[in-house]
Each structure stands twice: as structure tokens, then as C-alpha cells.
A and B are shown apart, each in its own frame.
Chain A
């Protein structure tokens, strides 16, 4: 079993034991489910926190406590699991909320792994807009991994159509 699979197994336990309500893998690790492996130094895990009536502030403490009790090591905002720094991120925008809700369950070495759809990963990359996100978006397009109708519909719902047109003009006009 790869180290990254061990990370997925541990995140599944977090959900099974009710520490989080739902998770989905995003970022470069998520992209690797659809395109060629994308080099990265960490794992981005988006989480829906378990609702508690008496608590209004979101806290990562229950996640950190659970994981450190099982061998995880805290390093800044990361928990290191099986050698991988893992960052737990709340849904920071309506787009990410939707990505979490629509995430796909994929089997990895006979265990489930929940991951953003290719279209949501690409839309989040467009929204985030760093050079590496633009490069990843190009990889998605080149590989033909996107259902373009679904992708465009996500962009329209989240006000990203203009940004997409600009991206097309800059990087895709004249591309074969």
C-alpha cells in the first residue's frame, strides 16, 4: 500500500468515527485521480465539520486530537500522516461547498476515497488562479478529462465565465 493510500485510509476513519461529517480530496492529489500524476508536497483535504448545537466556531482540534492519538504529527497547520503533510480545509466558497457535495467516491486498493470531480477541480483551479493552478487546468484540458458542458455550467453558476473566457483567450486561442 502506498503512503498516500495510508493517508486516505486514515481520513476514512475520521469520517467513519464521526469526527468529520464528510471529506473530499482536492488539489494535486485529487487531480491525479483523473490525469497524469501531479508532483506535490502535501495533501489537501476539504472537510465538512460535524455540526454541534453548542458550538458555533469551527475548530480543527477534534481532527488533530484524533490523528495525533493514532500516530499523526502536528507540523504548523498540517498533520503529517504516513510521511505526508495533510491540510484540512473548510469549504471556503460556494464553489468548494458544491465540490464537496458532488464529490465522487472512487475505489483505491479496495477502499473508498472521495475526491472532487474533474470539473470541480478544474473550476477551483481557475478560481484560485496561481500559475500552478493555471498549469493544472491546462493539463485537464489537454488530457480531455473534462466534460466541458458540465464544466461550463459550474463556471456559470459561480460567476467564473468571464475568467474562463480570459483564460481561453490567453492560453487556448490558436491551440490545436
Chain B
């Protein structure tokens, strides 16, 4: 582990080169996994977006009824 930016970038580049050299079938299988992750992230972002229509959380509903 290092906080030397130059070494970090070199390490990232080396990892990418290593991945690029993996057998093609393996790289294509990675695409399946990457897509599943990308979809999960997209769904999470959609859910947390302020403009998304959402039911009033139960806690706040109860607070309103008290008023």
C-alpha cells in the first residue's frame, strides 16, 4: 500500500494491462458481471435521486397524524 501517486498510477496501468491479456472468454464473462454491477448501481442511484416519486416514510406519516 502506498500513497505515492506515481506508483499508484503505474499499479493501475499494470492491472489494466494484466486484465487486457486475460483469455477472451474470461474477459467476456467479466462483461456479464460488470453489467450486473452497473445495473445495480444505476438502480441505487435512481432510488436515491431526490426527484424520484416516493411514499412518505412511515415515521413522518406518524408525526403528521400527531399534529
Contact = CB atoms under 8 A, between A and B. Distances in A.
A41 B31 contact: no
A108 interface: yes
Could you say which interface size class chain A belongs to? 20 to 34
A34 B17 CA distance: 10
A41 B25 contact: no
A106 B16 CA distance: 21
A133 to B, nearest CB: 17
Contacts of B38: 39-41
A143 B16 contact: yes
Contacts of B28: 2, 4-5, 29, 32, 37, 108
Interface of A: 2-5, 29, 32-41, 83-84, 106, 108-109, 139, 142-143, 145
14 contacts: A4-B29, A32-B27, A33-B24, A34-B20, A36-B16, A36-B19, A37-B19, A39-B34, A39-B38, A40-B31, A84-B35, A108-B25, A139-B16, A143-B17
